[in-house]
């Protein structure tokens, strides 16, 4: 699913390594949302619904979670006059 980042609101990502569930060292899940609380909640729900984790497993995996603000990296910016080129 593709989600458009809006420049007027924050966007967070929650990344959780799930090697203990899949055996694949490089596998992780990612959830996106407009607050740290929402991405954490989505991740917890995903672990329970998709991977069948119980609450203890979810809590253990959430200790490994990284939540980061990604809006500055993903929002489009208006080009500067230099980038547009001078029309003089």
Q: What is the pLDDT of residue 10?
A: 85
Under 8 Å between Cβ of 9 and 70: no
Q: What confidence tier does 9 reach under pLDDT thresholds 50, 70, 90?
A: confident
Q: How far apart are the first and last CA of the chain?
A: 44
Taking every pair of C-alpha atoms in the chain, what is the biggest distance, in angstroms?
65
pLDDT digits (tens, 9 = 90+) for 10-52: 899 999 999 999 999 999 999 999 999 999 999 999 999 999 9
pLDDT digits (tens, 9 = 90+) for 61-84: 999 999 999 876 555 555 556 655
H/E element, 83 = helix 81-84
Task: For residue 13, list its beta bridge partners.
Answer: 32, 68
What is the C-alpha separation between 85 and 88, in angstroms, rounded? 9
Q: Full-prediction pTM beyond 0.75?
A: no
């Amino acid at each position: 699913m593709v989600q458009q980042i809006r420049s007027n609101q924050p966007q967070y990502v929650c990344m959780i390594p799930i090697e203990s569930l899949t055996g694949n060292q490089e596998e992780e899940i990612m959830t996106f949302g407009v607050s740290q609380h929402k991405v954490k909640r989505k991740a917890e729900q995903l672990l329970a619904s998709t991977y069948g984790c119980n609450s203890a497993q979810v809590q253990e995996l959430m200790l490994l979670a990284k939540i980061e603000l990604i809006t500055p990296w993903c929002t489009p910016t208006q080009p500067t006059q230099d980038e547009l080129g001078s029309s003089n």
